[in-house]
Every structure is written in C-alpha cells, then in structure tokens.
Amino acid sequence: MNKMIALIATGSIAALATPAFAQDADSPFTGLRVQGVTGYDSLRAGSSVDDDGNDNNDQTADGLLYGVAVGYDVDLGSVVLGPEAEFSGSTAKTDYKDGDFEGFGYGNVSSGRDLYLGARIGVKANENMMFYAKGGYTNAKLNVRSNDGTTEFNDDYDLDGYRVGGGLEYAFGRNMFTNIEYRYSNYSRAEVDFDGTLPDSDRFDVDTDRHQVTVGLGMRF
C-alpha cells in the first residue's frame, strides 16, 4: 500500500511539474476542477469472510453516496494526468433482510464519512470526451449504532484501504463537465475509535469490499 501511494504521489508531482509549453492550455481537461458527486454505494463482506451460516446471506449495506471532489489535471496531448481528492458520505447501513441480520462482520453500523486521495490518468476519445482510470488511498468510518437504554454510544470503526476505478468524462466547453464512473475499494486494516477517554483499539485485519457507481457535475477553473 505504501508503494502504491508513493507511486501516485510521484506521478502527480511529475504531472504538475511539466513545463507549461508541453501542456494544451485550451484543453477542457486542463486546470483545477471541483465537482459534486452522487450515486450508488454498497458495502459488503470480502470474498474471504462470511459471518453467517446462511449461504444465501449477501451481507450488504446499500445506500446513496453524496460528496464533493477536487482535482487538478494536466493535458499532455496523448494523456491527461492529475491528483484528486474526495470527501463523501453515504446513507448505507446494516439492516434486517428476510428476518436475517446483515452485519457483514461489524454489527449494527451505518456508513460515516469517506476520504479518498489519489490520482487519475486519462486518454481522450475526442476533444470533449475522455476515458480515465484512477487509484489511491481511502479511509472510511463505520458508525456503531448502539445504546444501553440511557446513553447512546459514539464509537466507530476506522478503516484503511485502497481504491481503483475508471470512468468517462464529457466536457461542455471549457468550464463545465460531467462524468460517470465505477469504483472498487477494499479495506484491509481497521481500529475501533472509542467515545470518551478510552484509547483507540489496536489495529486489526478486516476484509471489506465497497462498490460504487457515481455521476458527477463540476466546474473547471
């Protein structure tokens, strides 16, 4: 994971350091971009984990993703490169399906904030359309929904992992664009962040998958 993050950072810095004369200043895929993001979000137990004896149990938490993303792209002619970051939330939460509790290994939780830091590389199909791939680091929260009848606890799980994905972006002129993309995230390490004065737990292994299909609308500056 550390090697992946280092490669992403190195590629992003190289793109930003490219001399101005090598960039296409009139391209709709160059410059700072800010966009709103929404779509489908699904958290589930990883392929090597099953916390339920029912073979038909899908162990998923589905919901609506919403957030904001920011990035900086450089059009080098044959490819487009740039770093990006995203802050998002989700309505996904555990539920009972057909009388069976879907906890996917964590218990009664709801999805909290999700932070992503990475980069993308694109290839232009024409002057206004680009196909791209992306990858990077993601940190997500799962809020524990519990109380003792008097006090509601605010503990949560803090998950670390990687994200990969790809999409299609279309530019409406120089300053507005839309995109659609699919992303897959896998979280392999976690800790429990306890409420109050208790110290956080030691980090432990997990196997949690996240599938998202998103659409975005944004401005480029």
Return the CATH number at 10.
2.40.160.20
Extract the tokens encoding 31.
């410059």
Measure the CA–CA gap between 112 and 62, rounded to whole angstroms: 13
- DSSP run (H or E) holding 83: strand 80-90
The reported pTM is 0.81
Domain membership of residue 88 as a residue range: 2-220
How many structural domains does the chain have? 1
How many of the other CB atoms lie within 10 Å of CB of 104?
25
Going residue by residue through the chain (221 aa), what tens digit of pLDDT does each one get? 544 544 444 444 444 444 444 556 688 999 999 999 999 999 988 865 555 555 555 578 899 999 999 999 999 988 999 999 999 999 999 887 666 777 777 888 999 999 999 999 999 999 999 999 999 999 999 998 776 555 566 788 999 999 999 999 999 988 999 999 999 999 999 888 877 666 677 788 888 999 999 999 999 99
